[in-house]
Structure 1
């Protein structure tokens, strides 16, 4: 199966939920990283937000490539 076919195929419900959670993590972390007062916050908050951005991106990307073979 080609990558384009895999990305356009239906996603199983569990992986759709994981994808949505990953998107939420990415959105929250980018909102925190985009704060203009990030320099006033402790450095650990910036590091945690950066790790959440990476984790959310990976969760979303991997979950999108899961294919529901029963839907065919």
Structure 2
């Protein structure tokens, strides 16, 4: 199955929920990183970790499909 097919296929409910959680984590991390005030170093580190974790969670969740059958298989 090609990546375009995966992106266009329906996503299971659980992974839709996880994708939304990932987007929220990435947004919170982005806000922490782009804060105009000086934050403690650990809070800046946390912002970076949240951004990366949220992005990975959102991407993996979006590529999960309902149908487990590979369309490229012949047989």
2:5 aligned residue: 5
Q: How many residues align?
A: 68
Match of 2:21 in 1: 21
Which structure carries more helix by proportion?
Answer: 1
Tell me, yes or no, if structure 1 residue 35 matches structure 2 residue 11. Answer: no
When Rg is computed on C-alpha atoms for both structures, the one with the higher figure is 2
Provide the aligned C-alpha RMSD in A.
Answer: 1.1
**C-alpha distance after superposition, 1:3-41 (max 9, x if no partner):** 10001100000000000000000011101111111xx32
Q: Structure 2 length normalisation: TM-score?
A: 0.86
Looking at structure 1, the residues matched to 64 and 17 of structure 2 have their Cα atoms a distance apart, in angstroms, of 12
Gaps of 5+ in 1: none
User: Deviating runs (4+, > 2 A) in structure 1?
Assistant: none
What is the TM-score of this pair, normalised by structure 1? Answer: 0.90
